[in-house]
Amino acid sequence: MRRTLLGIIMAVVFLSFVSMTRAEMVSGQLVKIDGSFYVIKDKDGKEHRIHFNDMTQKSGDIKPGDHVEVDNDKGHANSIKAMKMDMNMDMKK
């Protein structure tokens, strides 16, 4: 019984760490830079407010109106890059 309980506790602790390290990519139009936050509107119209700092890696000259892709980890931008738009309005890297 004690081994089973210990196994369950270890599994819960492990799974909580796995879920904490999950990052996601957010892409869309950079609506504005508000202090130390990027405000990005995705293709569904949802606005994402993502924190950035000196550790955020920037690729290109990032300015409002640009289409960007952000590596977002729990509300913090690990990196941001400007994306080019072609005539068909598809985002290209």
The residues spanned by each domain of the chain are 23-92
pLDDT tens for residues 77-92? 999 999 876 545 554 5
**Across 5-66, where does the E strand assignment appear?**
24-34, 37-41, 47-51, 57-59
Looking at CATH, the fold of the domain delimited by 23-92 is given as OB fold (Dihydrolipoamide Acetyltransferase, E2P) (2.40.50)
Structure confidence at residue 2 as a pLDDT band (50, 70, 90): confident
At residue 87, the pLDDT reads: 44
Phi, psi of 23 (to 5 degrees): -110, 160
pLDDT tens for residues 11-37? 776 665 544 545 789 999 999 999 999
pLDDT tens for residues 50-69? 999 999 999 988 999 999 99
Tell me the pTM.
Answer: 0.66
